[in-house]
Amino acid sequence: MKKNVFYEYFENFEEIKKKQIAMYLKQKEPGIKSTTINYRILKMVEEGILQRTGHGKYNLGKAVLFQPSVSKQMKQIYKRLSKKFPFIDYCIWDTRVLSSFMVHQPFRFYLLVEVDR
């Protein structure tokens, strides 16, 4: 199923009901089973295409991409490492990126450099 066609069809709906999604899918694929419809709805929720608002009620989802910020300190470390060790594979990351996923917020943050042996 094409996401953009789905979005265009349901973009003016305040709330999308499961029956409306089922009718749309049956229109696109006649003879589709109800278990397949349920599975497709589940996948659309998991992919962020749909957001569940209640039992059998959905809104078009707004998938948010995870984009961590790059600090000055990370850029400086990157420049130093790339000059001294141009052929090494490494990863630089900051523990601050985990803050949005935590309930209890730490007071200290660390900048980590992971290097292959």
**What confidence tens digit (pLDDT) does each residue in 2-57 have?**
677 888 888 888 899 999 999 999 998 999 999 999 999 999 888 888 989 889 99
What integer is the mean pLDDT of 58-68?
A: 76
Query: Model's pTM, two decimal places?
Result: 0.52
Q: How many of the other CB atoms lie within 10 Å of CB of 89?
A: 8
**What confidence tens digit (pLDDT) does each residue in 68-110 have?**
889 999 999 999 999 999 999 999 999 998 888 888 988 999 9
Residue 64's pLDDT is 62
CA 40 to chain centre: 17
Residue type, 101: F
Residue 65's pLDDT is 63
Which residues have a Cβ under 8 Å from the Cβ of 72 and sit 6 or more positions away?
none
> CA 112, CA 74: separation in Å to the nearest integer?
9
> CA 64, CA 82: separation in Å to the nearest integer?
31
Residue 1's pLDDT is 62
